[in-house]
Amino acid sequence: MGIVALTAAEVRAAHTKAGRKIEYITIVWTSLEAVIGIITGLLAGSVALIGFGIDSVIEIASSSVLLWRLSDRPRAEDREMMAHRLVGAGFLALAAYISFDAILDLTTRRTASVSYFGIVYAAACLIVMPLLARAKRRVAAHLASDALHADSHQSDICAYLSVILLVGLALNALFGWWWADPVAALCMVPIVLKEGYSGLRGETCSRYHPA
């Protein structure tokens, strides 16, 4: 059987298709993150869980921007700047909400309920998001796509936030430290603010990570 040589255009098309597939998977997973995080957070009274869930909603918007970029639709790149700014504004609004609610919890000593389901949820996010980030970086390297590299960085950030969330929930569950949840939420704020300001400037992360 002869070996069929693919043209450069066909190879790029295959990698672009792989990139779109990864983004679809990301959107589905992040949608589950958002629904579970917000509902679980409301039930437990956990500002950290709610904040993480809302962050996932904004991440869906970010992934949708990247999916739009990979679709090769006319003017997609021209409209990308506005989309990034809207995502950035969403992050800043989230940072304001988390700060207000977490400080309110600390000053009123409002206690979040122990959420073992939330702990399992945070641990699952910690496992899945780095895998998605690595897959995105591999495709981005083939496409030389700064936009896809930027989106892989978003997945990394989601993993960092899940670590903070997991620590806060675990401390509350293990030791009954009521303040662990709002403090964990406040620890998320600098990361969310950084992403918000970057989004408002329309910046993408051009930092290259090892695949």
Per-residue model confidence as pLDDT tens for the chain (211 residues)? 445 555 767 767 777 787 888 889 999 999 999 999 999 999 999 999 999 999 999 888 878 877 776 665 555 555 667 767 778 888 999 999 999 999 999 999 999 999 999 999 999 999 999 999 999 888 888 777 767 777 788 889 999 999 999 999 999 999 999 999 999 999 999 999 998 898 888 665 444 444 4
Q: How far apart are CA 150 and CA 146, in angstroms?
A: 6
Residue 173 sits in a domain whose CATH number is 1.20.1510
pTM, two decimals, is 0.83
Cα–Cα distance measured from residue 185 to residue 61, given in angstroms and rounded to the nearest whole number: 21
User: Looking at the domain assignment, is residue 23 inside a domain?
Assistant: yes
State both tokens at 47: 């500002």
Range of the domain at 150: 8-200
What domain count does the chain have?
Answer: 1
Report yes or no on 207 lying in a domain.
Answer: no
Q: 141 lies in a domain?
A: yes
**Does residue 142 fall inside a structural domain?**
yes
Within a domain: 209: no
Q: Which residues, including other chains, have CB under 8 Å from residue 23's CB and lie 6 or more apart? A: 63, 66, 67, 70, 151
Question: Looking at the domain assignment, is residue 211 inside a domain?
Answer: no
